[in-house]
Amino acid sequence: MGARAAMAIHGGAGTILRSTLSAEREAHYLSTLQAIVCAGSEVLAKGGSALDAVSLAVSLLEDCPMFNAGKGSVFTNAGTIEMDAAIMDGNTRRAGAVACVQHVRNPIQAARAIMEHSPHVLMVGQGAETFLRQHGLPFEDSAYFYTEERHAQLQRARLESGVLLDHDGANLLTSTSGKAVEPAPLDPDRKFGTVGAVALDLQGNLAAATSTGGMTNKLPGRVGDTPMLGAGCYADNQTAALSSTGTGEAFMRSLALYDIAAQMQYLGYSLEKAAHTVVMDKLPLVDGQGGIIGVDRLGNIVLPFNTEGMYRAWQRLGESPVSAIYTPGN
């Protein structure tokens, strides 16, 4: 009997704005998440690989301006876009990652190209883009990545504090054109914007993928945990496939995802116990906020987070997809 194929995705974690969220807006986020997890699950249902499933799901999240990756990426304090991504195959433990790319349309596809067509794991900046152009990946000019909401975030950060803001999100965002923009369910100034996917396929192989535009008003050249194996992305058939979202520096300092896998391998912990220990107990010790998604080799799915909310969706083959934003029961 084959493995119990399963998939989960995330689109960032942060502070809830339920008081300003219309039912229509919430439904739109939930339906988008469900559609994307269903697309990835369809790959699995047809016998496709976990690697293909996570590649597709993250590409779709990157193409959606609602999330901070690809087209919806946030701005650096220089007004530029710098994107990071990573992908890992749990069967072979091969991996690819990219950082500080500005024009490649889908950074997750860039990460996979580095994994499959180069002798390296991580490539950055102009050198990475030169390599990716040589391998025919689609590129876009800067205008493709521009959104009013992200530019408005940058302007507020510059005017008010010069750093990532700490608003309560009670008011509508105002774009630079003066037009009011309905806020997202998670306050965009307190949302840790990353997207990711994990999957277990019918052959019993695991894969994980993570992508981000980083932090609003970050210094050019800043790289977070997303392209760092064991921090933002990790997969090993012996333990689990994992993707994180949150305060990247804390996930890097704690190697949070590898810690989960290590507890499973060396202590015999279940995925649920190991993930809970890291997210709820260990990360707060280094001021780590955020969450993770994971699936183990048996098809068990976990989605713990220590913030007020996390965009997420999951599905096991033969079951209906589920999507959520807020903490359970809220």
Cα separation, 234 vs 251, in Å, equals 12
CA nearest to 290, candidates 257, 247, 253: 247
CB burial readout 184-210, b (16+ within 10 A) else e: bbbbbbbbbbbbbbbbbbbebbbbbbb
Rg over alpha carbons for the chain, rounded to the nearest Å, is: 18
Say whether 194 is catalytic: yes
CA nearest to 98, candidates 132, 64, 63, 65: 132
> What's the DSSP call for residue 218?
B
> Which residues lie across from 312 on neighbouring strands?
10, 324
Specify whether the CB–CB gap between 159 and 152 falls below 8 A: no
Q: Exactly one of 15, 32, 194, 212 is catalytic; name it.
A: 194
Residue positions annotated with a catalytic role: 194
